[in-house]
Amino acid sequence: MARDQLAARLLRRSAPRNDSSLSAATPLTLGELTESLDAIGGFEARPLVAVAVSGGPDSMALAILADRWARRRGGEAWALTVDHRLRPESAAEAQIVADWLAGRAIPHEVLVWSDAKPASGIQEAARAARYRLLAAWCRERGCLHLLTAHHREDQAETHLIRRRAGSGIDGLAGMSAVREIPGLRLVRPLLGVPKARLAAVLAAERQRFLSDPSNQNPAFERSRLRQGRDAPDGAGLDRLSAELRDLGRQRIAREHALNALLANAVRIHPAGFAVLDPAALDIDETELAERLLGRVALCIGGAAYPLRRARLARLRAGLSDRPERARTLGGCRFVPWRGQLLVLRELAGAAPPVRIEPGTRAIWDRRFAIESPRTAAGGFTVGYLGQNGAIGRDRGLAGVVRGDLPRLVHPVLPAIWDDAGLVAVPHLGDRRGVVQDLPGVVFRPANPLSVAGFTVV
């Protein structure tokens, strides 16, 4: 199909609807968006924000209002469209969105997912690719805020999907209005806004939008939910939204209690291990103690997903009943030491050593940021000291067991090798004197101990 013909068909498909439920809705105002963003806070005086724009009604409405919000403050809002290349017409759709936004003088860029597509789990892979591309664009330009147009119905669907999956109480609170991702934060200012009010913005602006056919594909869980009998609407949606706000406030209260306990009971060492006061595990609120263990294990072990509550309960019980015994969970070892608990990376589950060349950087084992100076004479290998069997051996570095850290920790300390052998163990302060411009190794876990709190707007 010729590009002009395809574009014409897409434009016909994007024409505003005459749905009476949409036309009766009141458009979301700039003042209301401002109130939501003010409640979230954390923006610069002259904000630079990015808006994820698919071309659908929700994201188009947010792009228009966010652009006006940023301009009034002397800032700028960029619209970013990800072309997943999953359908033949996706490039033409992205160009249509670009043309619409150009007509409104809204800066826009298309990001293309050009990688090979998986044979299964395509929706999850596309979502991961989308956020990876969006986050990379933001980091490259120093943009700290990525706005998405998730709205009230999206929040309700998230709750129902998680409820069907047996999610814990925190998951049932739905999406947070703020979520931290490396280098920036994801901001969802519309979670309390009905979808119809966003469509009404476009009707008032006489702005067309695109309709994604995958939203009606029964192969996807959200599509089945929208088409099913259990899809909430009207008064049912109002009640569910109120319930979700209450669940969100309860989650915030639990997070405050957990953060206070973490601050009093846990110390994180820049070498990538934690020291835990075991008295925190014997408090009356056993669920709070289990949450503490889960947060520490995520930080030190680097797991991609939270640990199951049943496993945390068994770990807490074991550490309390037999405090002299070491335990493992989530890629961590919990080892008693001088009345404390050392929480160490488990070598068996750790990533293998990584090669780092001059002028390059890497995230290793989901825990350490490594950067090698451009002036380095050659490449280095970074791994844990225990991975290459170098503990206690000279290999050109006589002091590998010096320092004031417990000997139990030495095997999981980051170490640096070159072709001649061991060069440095940075957190022991030891290095081979003749080697200059070593890589920097900084503990920067994918799951920090302290995270952005759940936010309700």
Q: Domain boundaries in the chain? A: 3-231, 260-348, 352-443
Question: Does the CA dihedral 402-408-414-418 come out positive or negative?
Answer: positive
Query: Does 12 score more than 60 pLDDT?
Result: no
pLDDT at 385: 93
Gyration radius of the chain over CA positions: 26
Interstrand relation of 361-364 and 430-431 (parallel, antiparallel or unpaired): unpaired
321-331 average pLDDT score: 95
96-109 average pLDDT score: 98
Distance CA 70, CA 443 (A): 35
pLDDT band at 213 (very low <50, low <70, confident <90, very high): low
Query: Does 433 score more than 90 pLDDT?
Result: no
pLDDT band at 395 (very low <50, low <70, confident <90, very high): very low
Query: What pLDDT, in 10s, does the model give residues 146-197?
Result: 999 999 999 999 999 999 888 888 999 999 999 998 889 999 999 999 999 9
Distance CA 313, CA 278 (A): 15
CATH 1.20.59 fits 260-348, yes or no: yes
Which region among 106-120, 290-304, 428-442 has the lowest average model confidence (pLDDT)?
A: 428-442
pLDDT at 236: 82
116-136 average pLDDT score: 92
82-109 average pLDDT score: 96
pTM to 2 decimal places: 0.80
pLDDT band at 394 (very low <50, low <70, confident <90, very high): very low
CATH 3.40.50.620 fits 3-231, yes or no: yes
Torsion angle of the four alpha carbons 338, 344, 346, 349, in this order, in degrees rounded to the nearest 10: 170
Closest CA to 93 of 85, 233, 231: 85
Which region among 6-10, 54-58, 200-204, 307-311 has the lowest average model confidence (pLDDT)?
A: 6-10
pLDDT at 19: 46
Query: What pLDDT, in 10s, does the model give residues 14-44?
Result: 544 444 444 579 999 999 999 999 999 999 9
Query: Does 13 score more than 60 pLDDT?
Result: no
pLDDT at 17: 47
Please state, as a whole number, how many other Cβ atoms lie within 10 Å of the Cβ of residue 40: 18
259-285 average pLDDT score: 96
